[in-house]
């Protein structure tokens, strides 16, 4: 079964959803039959390259809420992340244009370390205050997760995998995805948001059962 997850590296709910999906798969009796494919999504496609903002600054501008209200919002999300065993250092996290981070992820697929790179970039942004639009930073993080350093630098200096990112974003529009995380199971069932483990586990079993039924259905 194919599980596609549209997400962005600066989306805290995607950070939480990744942990919940891993927990659901750990409980799922047929997890060895599941392939997880992360898909690119730009949380803010208007965010210009080279512009770097703190989370609170970005949210006050985007929502028009007061700084106190924004801090209350991020404190809640930080608490939910902590329940998953995740660190969300909101004071250090820097919001950037993530196209290059997504391009690095697509390169990682060719080296069989896509999930490792996805998790490394998420942790780097949320827990370590790394800036994900910096070339040297991306090359280093990719290398830590198994992407050859020279290849990553060459790819990111050019426009390698830019088309892959655009295709993921285009497919999101086809599906009507307006926010992330967004799960699509076997290109048939959809789950929106950072749902609890129980919801994801139920969705996995439902999609698997439907796939089994379709495979067993008589043809002709």
Q: What is the DSSP letter of 89?
A: -
What pLDDT is stored for residue 220 in this prediction? 57
Residues in the chain, pLDDT under 50: none
Q: What is the pLDDT of residues 52-68, one digit of tens each?
A: 999 999 999 999 999 99
CA 156/CA 104 separation, integer angstroms:
7
pLDDT digits over 14-27, tens only? 999 999 999 999 99
Query: For position 91, what pLDDT does the model report?
Result: 96
Q: How far apart are CA 169 and CA 157, in angstroms?
A: 21
Residue carrying structure tokens 């370590």: 128
pTM, two decimal places: 0.94
2-216 architecture in CATH? 3-Layer(aba) Sandwich (3.40)
Cβ neighbours of residue 155 closer than 8 Å, sequence gap 6 or more: 103, 104, 107, 161
- Which pLDDT score is estimated for 219? 64
Domain boundaries along the sequence of the chain = 2-216
Calpha distance 70→76 (Å, rounded)? 10
Average pLDDT, the chain: 96
Cβ atoms 169, 8 nearer than 8 A: no
d(CA 207, CA 188): 8
Q: Which residues contact 200 (CB under 8 A, 6 or more apart)?
A: 20, 21, 24, 183, 191
- Phi/psi region, residue 176 (left: phi>0; alpha: psi -120 to 50; beta: rest), is left
State residue 215's pLDDT score: 79
- Residue identified by tokens 């004071």 is 91
């Amino acid at each position: 079964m194919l599980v596609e997850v549209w997400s962005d590296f600066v989306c805290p709910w995607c950070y939480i959803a990744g942990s919940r999906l891993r927990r659901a798969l750990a409980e799922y009796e047929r997890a060895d039959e599941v392939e997880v494919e992360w898909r690119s999504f730009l949380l803010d496609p208007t965010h210009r390259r080279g512009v770097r903002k703190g989370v609170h600054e970005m949210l006050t501008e985007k929502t028009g809420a007061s700084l106190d209200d924004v801090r209350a919002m991020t404190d809640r999300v930080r608490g939910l992340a902590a329940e998953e065993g995740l660190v969300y250092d909101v004071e250090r996290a820097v919001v950037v244009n993530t196209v290059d981070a997504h391009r690095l992820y697509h390169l990682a697929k060719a080296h069989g370390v896509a999930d490792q790179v996805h998790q490394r970039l998420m942790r780097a942004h949320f827990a370590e205050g790394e800036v994900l639009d910096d070339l040297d930073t991306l090359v280093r993080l990719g290398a830590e997760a198994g992407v050859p350093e020279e290849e990553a630098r060459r790819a990111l200096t050019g426009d390698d995998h830019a088309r892959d990112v655009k295709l993921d974003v285009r497919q999101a529009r086809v599906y009507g995805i307006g926010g992330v995380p967004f799960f699509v199971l076997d290109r048939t069932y959809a789950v929106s948001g950072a749902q609890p483990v129980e919801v994801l586990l139920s969705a996995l079993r439902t999609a698997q059962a439907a796939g089994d039924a379709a495979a067993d259905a008589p043809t002709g």
